[in-house]
Structure 1
Amino acid sequence: MPESGLSFEEEEAIRSKFIAILLSGADRPIKNKINFQKELFLFAKSFPKFFALFEFIPHYYGPYSQSAADSIENHDDYFVSDTKGIYLTAEGKNIAEESLLNEFSTENREKIIISMNIVRSLYDSLTSDELMFLVYKTYDYTEKSDKIDSLLEKKEYLAGRLLKKGVITEKRYRELIED
């Protein structure tokens, strides 16, 4: 049994609902598995109890959660992962809506909706390189990275793109390009 005191099935149900909520934050798929992992990481960082359920580890392309990947793969009734990206089925949309309405207090629901909307509106427009660069420079997770060296070689370009897209400020731009 996991350390949370919940059974594996209970944890899996919570993970699936949390992922569904993230995906419901926009009427478009998350572009690919790399961006999905990073957006989920950023969304979950705001909620430590949920974050712990995903067990993110340093991986080839930054923070990675095997349990999140398994949830997407094992719940094709909720999630689709194809050439369009990762998105919800009709049942997945219902799960997200029901979870938001029935499983959170009004205050927590508002926090989740705000965080979900920020993550989806800010990060959906980023390329995988831009998103990985931002996450690496903010949270590290570079230990096993296959990409960090190539991203750092073009840090001024990537930071410039993030600034141009309005994702970061001038101050953050300068922080990102420092060695």
Structure 2
Amino acid sequence: MADSDLSFEQEEAIRNKFIAILLSGADRPIKNKINFQKELFLFSKSFPKFFEFFEFIPHYYGPYSSSAADSIDNHDDYFVSDTKGIYLTAEGKNLAEESIQEFTQENREKIIISLNIVRSLYDSLTSDELMFLVYKTYGYTEKSDKIDSLLKNKEYLAGRLLKKGVITEKRYRELIED
């Protein structure tokens, strides 16, 4: 639990709202649970106040938040996780709309910009591409089952990120360095 005076239920409500906002950022599901965890990680990194509510830890496939996974698994009134991916129910869409309105106009604009960047850039990535980018940028490799195979394919993965316009030539060179 984050260091705050909030109850577990209050923190859970905040997590659900933040996840709903993330999922509302595109008219398509997030592909799978791995990509969901990485996109949530990247989105919440832009908002340190919210990042602390997720308590990301190193895991088999990079940064992982058990509280975020629990929200998806235990709140089927808001979230769906199936073969199509992870997306919002009608009630989840309402939660996202109401939640975004709780912010000041300035903060709402910042959230929308960050949300659009995360969903437009990272939704197109494979799990390997997204994991590689997150590992090379933020670490979280301690318990990884994938880091060795990703590093063996670093030139290919970095090339795919460059081709998709997610990174620059300079970042490409940084990613392929040892």
Matches within 5 A, 1:109-128: 109-128=108-127
User: How many residues are treated as equivalent by the alignment?
Assistant: 178
Question: AA paired with 1:175?
Answer: E
Please state how far the C-alpha of 1:51 moved relative to its aligned partner: 0.1
Q: RMSD over aligned Cα, in angstroms? A: 0.8
Matched-pair identity in %: 89
Please state how far the C-alpha of 1:2 moved relative to its aligned partner: 5.1
Over 2 Å off, 4+ runs: none
* Separation in structure 2 between the aligned mates of residue 154 and residue 58 of structure 1, nearest angstrom: 21
- 2:2–2:55 Cα contact (<8 Å) kept: no
Structure-2-length-normalised TM-score: 0.99
Structure-1-length-normalised TM-score: 0.98
- 1:72–1:81 Cα contact (<8 Å) kept: yes
Are 1:46 and 2:46 an aligned pair?
A: yes
- 2:33–2:86 Cα contact (<8 Å) kept: yes
Q: Deviations over 1:120-148 (max 9, x none)?
A: 00000000000000000000000000000
Structure 2 SS opposite 1:34: helix
* Separation in structure 1 between the aligned mates of residue 92 and residue 22 of structure 2, nearest angstrom: 11
Please state how far the C-alpha of 1:3 moved relative to its aligned partner: 2.0
* Separation in structure 2 between the aligned mates of residue 100 and residue 36 of structure 1, nearest angstrom: 19
Structure 1: runs of 5 or more not aligned: none
Matches within 5 A, 1:18-167: 18-101=18-101, 103-167=102-166
* Separation in structure 1 between the aligned mates of residue 52 and residue 42 of structure 2, nearest angstrom: 13
